[in-house]
Structure 1
Amino acid sequence: MYRSEGRGGVLILCDHASAHIPDDYEGLGLDRAVLSTHIAVDIGAAEVSLLLADLLDAPALLAPVSRLVVDLNRDPETQDPCPPISDGIPIPGNTALDEAARVARLDRWFHPYHKAAEDQLAAMMARGEQPIVIGLHSFTPVMKGEPRPWQIGFLYAGDNRLYRAMQPKLASDWGLHVGDNQPYSGAELYYTMHRHGERHGLMQATIEIRQDLIANAEGQRHWADILAQTLRPLLLKRAPLLPKKD
């Protein structure tokens, strides 16, 4: 946990921060070039998470392994967190994964990650904080041949308070086209935010930034600054800002 003692009132969770595949998984049978692509890692998300944590004095938890080893944002009861295919690319090390090997990956990576998030959240709430919980991700500028026009998007399930609080400022101050449950829907992909934010009644959202905008250090600093400047006025209020949407 980075900045575990941070008092900024935000908890940052980066489920797809790393492209690392431990040696004992033998690269999952993939060409190393695959590990620098979006199927292995959310490009730029780790760097923006750490920069934002510094700007806001916020704790940040970053995934230690690639989403191809185990996807930390998938409910293992209803979704496969060890995908045999990702964006049309077969993952040989996952295609014949038996139940024992799957459980071993969950025990080694999935459960400790979410336990660390739970412990951090409990510590923050024990000292009287009601933190904003952010899942920080990135998305490709083109998917299946279709350009994605948003620079940033918010995913949520039922509670869209954070989107409604941040979207006007992002649009007016920065001129951004902000995705409303785009480029994905939080109704489908929301495990981490539901577990650590929504079910506690906390203001939360998955924030997705387009990868071409945070592919280098300059872009990463710029976007961390955008998020920090947009979040600071909300944090000063230290209270629910808007009623939940019916």
Structure 2
Amino acid sequence: MTERRPESRHEAFEILGAGRAGPWLVTCDHATNRVPDWLGGSLGIAPEDMARHIAYDVGARGLAIALGAALDSPVICSDFSRLVIDPNRGEDDPTLVMKLYDGTIIPANRHVGPAEVETRLERLYRPYHEALARLAEGRAILAIHSFTPCLKGRAPRPWHIGVLHSHLDERLSRAVIAGLEQVPDWCVGDNEPYAGHLPGDAIDRHALIPGRHNTLIEVRNDLIGTEAEQQDWAVRLAPILSAALAAVSAPA
């Protein structure tokens, strides 16, 4: 069983396996649905909404931790809900603090002003990114996310796993997709269920701008709801990821 207790914890993040020698930094931007006590511990939405994908990436934290162990690489996970402030958005992105998400109004964000946004940036968003930047030195970025099988009023999503990438650097993601497509029982999405990256998002900031190898993996969250499922996916993904990184890192 993978050790899931953090070696270090800040109110904004947790780090596991900081001393591991592997070539990756595994990141999980939307790891938890925690709302800090200084925000009242709640955003005013129902508990069942806080348990949904709108508040965090269900199953992603466990998968990231299992992959970090399988790849002998460090892991950093956020420790605040994406609805508090989204660490996978640029500071000037209009969706940095969401007021409406998949049909749910977020009461605590409805009238949020610049001063409150700045507090959330200073206490949560920026410390997470500062820690991520320190850990990323000399490593490839492996960002782990999950997606819901179906948004409200939309068609079901057929993919088991998706790989997101930017046209600015597709090398590692293309190699990962080629490896995933060899698995006969997986429906693999190429820039699905979303397309590419946004300027200022975590991959842009920590990989594209500094020129690090990177890939972003999205796994459908109904497939990684238990620790056993997370472990199974990690065991299957790790050799594909390792082979892809070796292929793109080899001298020309």
What TM-score, normalized by structure 1, do the two folds share?
A: 0.89
Q: 1:186 to 1:132 in 2, by over 3 A?
A: same
In the other structure, the counterpart of 1:161 is: 171
Q: Is the 8 A contact 1:38 1:140 kept in 2?
A: yes
Q: Deviations over 1:168-204 (max 9, x none)?
A: 2212135322111110012447710011111122221
Q: Is the 8 A contact 1:165 1:241 kept in 2?
A: no
What's the CA shift for 1:238?
7.8
Give the letter for the 1:67 counterpart.
R
User: Which of 12, 17, 21 does residue 35 from structure 2 map onto?
Assistant: 21
In the other structure, the counterpart of 1:140 is: 148
Structure 1 runs (4+) greater than 4 angstroms displaced:
235-238
Structure 1 portions without partners, runs of 5+? 126-130
User: Which of 14, 19, 31 does residue 5 from structure 1 map onto?
Assistant: 19
In the other structure, the counterpart of 1:128 is: none
What SS is found at the alignment partner of 2:183?
helix
How far apart, in 2, do the equivalents of 1:65 and 1:240 lie? 38
What SS is found at the alignment partner of 2:182?
helix
Structure 2 portions without partners, runs of 5+? 1-14
What's the CA shift for 1:240?
5.3
Give the letter for the 1:106 counterpart.
L
What SS is found at the alignment partner of 1:146?
coil
In the other structure, the counterpart of 1:59 is: 74
Q: 1:161 to 1:241 in 2, by over 3 A?
A: farther
In the other structure, the counterpart of 2:88 is: 73
How far apart, in 1, do the equivalents of 2:162 and 2:215 lie? 10
User: Which of 165, 171, 176 does residue 186 from structure 2 map onto?
Assistant: 176
How far apart, in 2, do the equivalents of 1:174 and 1:50 lie? 25
How far apart, in 2, do the equivalents of 1:238 and 1:6 lie? 22
What SS is found at the alignment partner of 1:39?
coil
Q: 1:174 to 1:10 in 2, by over 3 A?
A: farther
What SS is found at the alignment partner of 1:183?
coil
Q: 1:183 to 1:237 in 2, by over 3 A?
A: closer
Q: Name the structure where helix makes up a greater proportion of residues.
A: 1
Please provide the CA RMSD for this pair.
1.8
Give the letter for the 2:24 counterpart.
V
What's the CA shift for 1:16?
0.3
What's the CA shift for 1:234?
3.5
Q: 1:174 to 1:217 in 2, by over 3 A?
A: farther
Superposition map of 1:10-159 within 5 A: 10-26=24-40, 27-122=42-137, 125=138, 131-143=139-151, 144-158=153-167, 159=169
Q: Is the 8 A contact 1:203 1:240 kept in 2?
A: no
Q: Is the 8 A contact 2:25 2:141 kept in 1?
A: yes
Q: Deviations over 1:127-157 (max 9, x none)?
A: xxxx221110000111233111111111111
Bigger drift between 145-154 and 161-170 goes to 161-170
Identity fraction in percent: 34
Give the letter for the 1:198 counterpart.
L
